[in-house]
Amino acid sequence: MNDEKFMRQAIELSKLAVEHGNEPFGAVLVKDNEVVYTNENQIYTMKDPTFHAEAGLIRRFCMETGIRNLSEYTLYSSCEPCFMCSGAMVWVKLGRLVYAASNLDLEEILEKKGSNCSQMVFEHSNHKPEVCAGILREESINVLKNYFTARRN
């Protein structure tokens, strides 16, 4: 299944983000079954707390291509996008979002109270991408647990 294929790439990018000194989040942008852009979380290396995998991908892809309407694209994310990244997806009219672990999964790992951020943003926005959640969820949760458990200890 292609969703699993592209999600594996997003999860691999989340592992690379850790290797590069950042938090474990990766994103892959696909159009017509072809990867057109990828990005990993770069909040520490770019010294920019807003340089999440998804927002950074959208920012760079739009800047480099001049394309501002992503209604024909699917974004694969290793974890459910935060409020900021979900808002960026609304602004570019993303066609479809596929994510692995949910924000609730992440917040449970972090021992915090969580929410379904993307769902909340999309419900209150004039644009709602199609959403498919939980693709390779356990694989992503394992990456998140490994990273955040190590940081906590």
Catalytic positions: 54
Collapsing DSSP states into helix, strand and coil, what is residue 51?
Answer: coil
State the amino acid at position 98 in one-letter form.
V
Q: How far is CA 91 from CA 52, 55, 78, in A?
A: 16, 11, 21
CA distance 22 to 1: 29
75: β partners? 29, 97
The distance of Cα 51 from the centroid of its chain, to the nearest Å, equals: 11
Structure tokens at 104: 């609730």
The distance of Cα 134 from the centroid of its chain, to the nearest Å, equals: 12
